[in-house]
Amino acid sequence: MRNCLTLLAIALGLSACASTPKVGGAPNIEVLDAQELPVPDRGETFAVDRPYIVGPFDKLRIDVFGIDELSDRKVQVDASGRISFPLIGALTIAGSTPGEIERLIETKLAASYVRNPQVSVNLEETVSQVVTVEGQVKKPGLFPVVGRMTLLRAIALSGGTDEFAKLNEVVIFRTVKGEQYAALYNLKSIRLGAYPDPEVFANDVVVVGESQARRVFKDFLQVLPALSTPLIFAVDRLNR
């Protein structure tokens, strides 16, 4: 009983302390005096340093040089990541770059007796803003941020939590102005209306009850009996 009271006192002391104590299993994590994560600037929601990966619902324009019937064809990737193109039928292209799609179509057309096809693939309409959901969900992956996205909606897109999910260990990682932040949430408390469903933005990473979240907050989780409000952390990157 004495040990339980000691742990509870530590937890209350950490949550009430205004001096942002060091906590967690990873270095340089500080509790912030805040109720929500900082909102990223518009430019920070686009990752410009990586090639674009075509996904469901993207719209493409495909041209085959010198063949009018196969040029200026606008196609949309369906929900399963496939498109249909004359002479070659259905192609699964989700997860490919435009350049990879060009080479795939060229190979297929060459096999359909089109001599030396030259294909260009351009993005007409992209879903370039995505949120990553991983951990104990049924379908982890990258999902488009269309309109206002919240934590519950992001998890719903991933098929919901699985049977092994730790609902009190849901973390959102976000980078704002070069600073990395993390927020710890109790999904059950949000569902019961204990506090608002937080908004998520493009490039956020949501981790549901998985080893990464546990590693970062392992010490803190041991002394926290219940999470009735979100906890916001600032994470200093190691390579500064």
Closest CA to 122 of 54, 47, 68: 54
- CA separation for the pair 68, 66 (Å, rounded): 6
- DSSP reduced 3-state for 60: strand
pLDDT tens for the chain, 240 residues long, are: 444 333 333 343 444 443 333 334 444 555 555 566 777 765 555 554 556 778 778 889 999 999 999 999 999 998 888 999 999 999 999 888 899 999 999 999 999 888 999 999 998 876 656 889 998 899 888 887 766 889 999 999 999 988 888 888 898 988 888 788 888 888 988 888 888 899 998 889 999 985 555 555 555 555 455 555 666 666 654 334
CA 213 to chain centre: 14
pTM above 0.75, yes or no: no
Closest CA to 73 of 115, 101, 96: 101
Q: What domains are defined for the chain? A: 2-46+129-235 (3.10.560.10), 59-125 (3.30.1950.10)
- CA separation for the pair 23, 18 (Å, rounded): 14
Q: Which residues pair with residue 62 across a beta bridge? A: 73, 121
Q: Say if CB 111 and CB 123 are below 8 A apart.
A: no
Residue environment code for 176-206, b if the CB has 16+ CB neighbours within 10 A, otherwise e: eeeeebbbbbbbebbeeeebeebbbbbbbbb
